[in-house]
Structure 1
Amino acid sequence: MTAIRSPFLAALAFPLALALSACGSGAEETGSLEGEAIAEIPAPEGQEWSDVVTVTEADGYLLGNPDAPIKVMEYASLTCPACAAFAQNGADQLKEEYVDTGRVSYELRNQIHAPHDLMLAQLVRCGADETYHPLSDQVWKNLQSVLGPVFERQEQFQQALALPEDQRFVAAAEVAGFYDFFAARGISEDQARSCLADFDAMTAIAENSTRQSNELGVTGTPTFFVNGSKLDTVNTWQALEPVLQRAGAR
């Protein structure tokens, strides 16, 4: 689990702390969930539940049946190796074997740990709502290559972040090579530059991260909730799947 580092201040303060956060455990798990087996719930005609995306009031991106009886919520950082491991080793199974049954919904919320994390959180929002989850998965599945230029060009990256508000993230993304990465995945450079120039929108993402993390006691990533129960000791698919099955997704 990647530990939180004062998200809003860490996202905007200088100089930039570029080292990856350490992994560690959180608070104790609140308890397991138990439930009877739940029948599959058909998706709207012509759709799969994994095609349905709802943006929640908390700025989370909920995939699947919004009325699913089992609700999974993950707080994740786009720079978190443990989150990347979940995306690589569990997210596809969660979507294909559970979300598509209509029994389970999967809401993803960003926790912001650093400026490049905030930039990525904005860039995965640049397209249609339906592209948020696939773009996030692409970042995690290519995490080393995505973050490599940020660490290799620390001085230039910090210099970019010292520019005026409407320029800093636009310039920093060029240093980081983010434009080419997202252009290859359907977000044009002009579109990405426009998103990163919206300082108010990015501030809102960071402030949501801080407020929600404080309110819900989220101290690191990934942190999973199932039907409102926080599962801080669960941060892999191998640990999460049995919780879903006990809750009725079987």
Structure 2
Amino acid sequence: MPHCQQRSALKLLGIIASLVMGGWLAAGLAPAQADDQTTIPPEKLFAPQALPDIVEGKADAPVTIVEYASMTCPHCARFHAETYPALLSKYVNTGKVRFILREFPLDPRAAAAFMLARCAGDGDKRTAVIDLLFNSQQSWAESDKPLDTLSGLMRQTGMSAKDFDACLNNQSLYNNVIKERDDAGKDFVIDATPTFFINGKKYSGEISIDALSKIIDPLLAKK
């Protein structure tokens, strides 16, 4: 199970341009397994992060899911393609679950993708870019020219070439993306993606909607 590795705070344009396919990591376990030894209290899990949380769903939903993902992780992409839409329809949009995705980049390409999503804007704009980049993951994560591919994808969202370059050279944003990852690795013992916290209880690995329902429904029944 790969561990996240701290990268020096260099200009991302130079880092990504020098990468080859073998340099990107993807981690995950299938199916998800509960870590019976790890339950994070709410005051710790929801303490202010390096980056503000983007929350989907009602603030007072009885169940909260926090996902730590890497944009280059194929297990994360499959979760967002197969499980996430059903999660939204069945639980988030009905007020039963609130969902938070936090950045846990396992490599510079994933860090760049998260930065571009943050530069797109808050709320729905960031979420839309996350969806776009997960859905097109192979095209840029496996590309010999990831910058060109990412730039083309971001043009679909209205981001100019100038704004694209400025985003990837935003040292403060890069530092916060990396801090979000490193803090989670230290505080919540995360070393692979996807990792979920469902009402504070840790689950590591990819998870189907059926498996997720078996976790969520008993929590709803207690309310």
Counterpart pick for 2:7 among 6, 9, 23: 9
Q: Kindly indicate whether residue 214 of structure 2 is the aligned counterpart of residue 246 of structure 1.
A: no
In structure 1, distance between residues paired with 2:217 and 2:111: 34
In structure 2, distance between residues paired with 1:20 and 1:208: 18
In structure 1, distance between residues paired with 2:173 and 2:126: 16
Q: 1:23 Cα shift?
A: 4.1
* Alpha carbons 1:234, 1:240 under 8 Å: kept: no
Instruction: Name the Cα RMSD after superposition.
Output: 3.0
* Alpha carbons 1:74, 1:222 under 8 Å: kept: yes
Q: Which one is further off, 91-100 or 189-198?
A: 189-198
Q: Kindly indicate whether residue 2 of structure 2 is the aligned counterpart of residue 30 of structure 1.
A: no
Counterpart pick for 2:100 among 107, 123, 131: 107
- Letter of the structure 2 residue corresponding to residue 118 of structure 1: A
- Letter of the structure 2 residue corresponding to residue 95 of structure 1: L
Flag the 1:24–1:91 CA change in 2: closer, same or farther, 3 A.
closer
Q: 1:79 Cα shift?
A: 0.4
Flag the 1:63–1:199 CA change in 2: closer, same or farther, 3 A.
same
| Matching residue of 1:142 | 136
Q: Structure 2 matches for 1:158-237, cutoff 5 A? A: 173=147, 176-232=148-204, 235-237=207-209
Tell me the SS of whatever aligns to 1:20. coil
In structure 1, distance between residues paired with 2:89 and 2:82: 13
| Matching residue of 1:122 | 115
Q: Which one is further off, 72-81 or 182-191?
A: 182-191
Q: 1:24 Cα shift?
A: 4.3
* Offset from partner CA, 1:169-221 (integer Å, 9 cap, x none): xxx73xx4211111112323222222112112111110121112210011210
Q: 1:3 Cα shift?
A: 3.2
* Offset from partner CA, 1:120-173 (integer Å, 9 cap, x none): 010011122121122111111111112232xx25xxxxxxxxxxxxxxxxxx73
Counterpart pick for 2:127 among 127, 130, 133: 133
| Matching residue of 1:64 | 57
Flag the 1:212–1:28 CA change in 2: closer, same or farther, 3 A.
same
- Letter of the structure 1 residue corresponding to residue 184 of structure 2: Q
Flag the 1:220–1:93 CA change in 2: closer, same or farther, 3 A.
same
Q: 1:21 Cα shift?
A: 3.1
Counterpart pick for 1:75 among 68, 79, 83: 68
Flag the 1:10–1:85 CA change in 2: closer, same or farther, 3 A.
farther
- Letter of the structure 1 residue corresponding to residue 212 of structure 2: L
Q: Relative contact order, CA 8 A, sep 6+: which one is greater?
A: 2
* Alpha carbons 2:28, 2:194 under 8 Å: kept: no
* Alpha carbons 1:11, 1:206 under 8 Å: kept: no
Q: What runs of 5+ residues in structure 1 fail to find an aligned partner?
A: 34-54, 154-171
After TM superposition, the score normalised by the length of structure 1 is 0.71
Rg larger for: 1
Report how many residues are paired.
Answer: 204
- Letter of the structure 1 residue corresponding to residue 162 of structure 2: D
Flag the 1:215–1:21 CA change in 2: closer, same or farther, 3 A.
same
Q: What runs of 5+ residues in structure 2 fail to find an aligned partner?
A: 40-45
* Alpha carbons 2:26, 2:74 under 8 Å: kept: no
